[in-house]
Amino acid sequence: MPIGALISAYQEDDSGALRALLPLAGRTLLEYQARCAAAAGAAPIVVVVERVPQSLQDAFERLRLDSIGVFAVSDINEAISRFEAGTPILMIADGIAPPVELVTRMAEQAESAVAIVPDDEQHQAYERIDAGSRWGGVAMVDAHLLGSTAAMLGDWDLQSTLLRRAIQEGAARIQTAEAGGEPLLAENADQLADFQRTLINASRGARTDFASRYLLAPLEDLATEQLMETAVRPPWLVWAALALTLGGAICFTRGWLGAGLVLVLLSTPLDVVAGRLASLRLRPLPVKMWSRMALWPAAGVALLAIGLWEMRHGTGWGAFVTAAAACAFAEAARIEKISMPPGGDLWLFSRRNAAALAIPFALGGVWTAYLIGILAYAAISFFIVQRVRHGLTS
């Protein structure tokens, strides 16, 4: 069943500004909450807020540009009008930074449920539920509760009143530690620093070749942290990587071999950075994204361009044949590698590895030797993959 989301954004932090505007992963806490709700399938996302400063309006606009529909409301009756009758509502508390897994798990609850944390010293700032537990800041409530709460609310706090009524009606209690992880109730920016670091580290994913693990990792981390605060969209970086690779191929055909290699090298971390930005913004790149899939054949075109230049200005047709054979072995290895266990291809042929290996040959000006070396590398990788596959299936 489709669900909606109700996010509170009217409490102030230690400085007197809205908690919802605390910075997190290059955006605001509210944007993170809304993206969590969207990742859990919630629509519409209604934000209860008493005033909308320009910075909050900017946050709403950034969400809408990412096709996340958010609606600011100032009273409960307006909030009710945004939800269809019978819609279960995912409620996220003001100032809560929950793991996306927790929000997704709560959104899957068929009945009303409340995420809880222990009533201990670490959670003193969280809202108390009973003598042994406090609210973890995420809950699923029945749609009728919102309407019936409106009739009795008066001057009471909507967030707390909805929570109390859900508990009175027997909402299930789910320990956050068992449902996706511990949320953070933030009252100032410093409290979000560790949570932000956790998000950035989690966005790294698996580095599946030696170039990305040992050579590009510092650059990738730096680029991710710098770009997450900008308006740059992840697909733009993938298109930039594709354009740089094809630009490098054009340079190779003109004999500008050094410039071509620089362009190809610049392209190698961009798709990884794009994936990390998309992960931080909880909008993963599509698996079958055309520009992303085109990076591999574009790298092949660049290799063939080197072979073409060497054929015309050096070692004859053998250079082009060598480049073509390397492309064939690389493609065969890529296809066969799909069935290999994860993590077993660190030293095998990849687009990034091939670009990194070109550096010493370029410094020595021996491009034909590079083509021979890359052919041997691709062929060895293919036979290793074949060996592993046959070993797994025998």
The pLDDT confidence band at residue 75, using thresholds 50, 70 and 90, is confident
Helix/strand/coil (H/E/C) assignment for every residue in the chain? CCEEEEEECCCECCCCCEHHHCEECCEEHHHHHHHHHHHCCEEEEEEECCCCCHHHHHHHHHHHHCCCCEEEECCHHHHHHHCCCCCCEEEECCCEECCHHHHHHHHCCCCCEEEEEECCHHHCCCCECCCCEEEEEEEEECHHHHHHHHHHCCCCCHHHHHHHHHHHCCCEEEEHHHCCCCCEECCCHHHHHHHHHHHHHHCCCCCCCHHHHHHCHHHHHHHHHHHCCCCCCHHHHHHHHHHHHHHHHHHHHHCCHHHHHHHHHHHCCHHHHHHHHHHHCCCCCCCCCHHHHCHHHHHHHHHHHHHHHHHHHCCCHHHHHHHHHHHHHHHHHHHHHCCCCCCCCCCCCCHHHHHHHHHHHHHHCCHHHHHHHHHHHHHHHHHHHHHHHHHHHC
CATH of the domain at 7: 3.90.550.10
Q: Do 217 and 273 sit in the same domain of this protein? A: yes
Task: With cut-offs at 50, 70 and 90, classify the pLDDT of residue 155.
Answer: low
pLDDT range class, residue 323, cuts 50, 70, 90: very high
Q: What is the pLDDT of residues 267-297, one digit of tens each?
A: 999 999 999 999 999 999 998 899 999 999 9
Q: Is residue 24 domain-shared with residue 114, that is, in the same domain?
A: yes
pTM of the model: 0.90
210 and 294 inside one domain: yes
Which range, 4-18, 206-220, 231-245, is most confident? 231-245
Q: Which helix (H) or strand (E) holds 262?
A: helix 257-267
153 confidence band (pLDDT: 50, 70, 90): low
**Residue where one domain finishes, among candidates 129, 159, 188:** 188
Length of the chain: 394
Task: Verify that 229 and 352 share a domain, yes or no.
Answer: yes
DSSP state of 239: H
Whether the pLDDT of residue 246 is over 60: the answer is yes
CA–CA distance, 116 with 244 (Å, rounded to integer): 49
Q: What is the pLDDT of residue 159?
A: 85
Confidence class for position 178, pLDDT limits 50, 70, 90: confident
Residue 251: is its pLDDT beyond 90? Answer: yes
Tokens of 314: 């050096």
Q: pLDDT (tens digit, 9 = 90+) per residue, 103-146?
A: 999 999 989 999 999 999 999 999 999 888 999 999 999 878 87
Average pLDDT (381-391) is: 85
Residue 123: the pLDDT is: 92
> pLDDT at residue 158 above 90?
no
Percent of the chain past pLDDT 90, that is, above it, reads: 72
Does one domain contain both 160 and 309? no
Question: Using an 8 Å Cβ cutoff, are 246 and 257 in contact?
Answer: no
Same domain for 355 and 249: yes
Over the stretch 42-63, which tens digit does the pLDDT of each residue have?
A: 999 999 998 899 999 999 999 9
- Amino acid 68: pLDDT: 93
Q: Domain range spanning residue 225?
A: 203-393
Q: Tell me: do 182 and 284 sit in the same domain.
A: no
Tell me how many degrees the CA angle 40-43-49 measures, rounded to the nearest 5.
105
Which CATH number does the domain housing residue 327 bear?
1.20.120.1760
User: What is the pLDDT of the chain when averaged over all its residues?
Assistant: 91
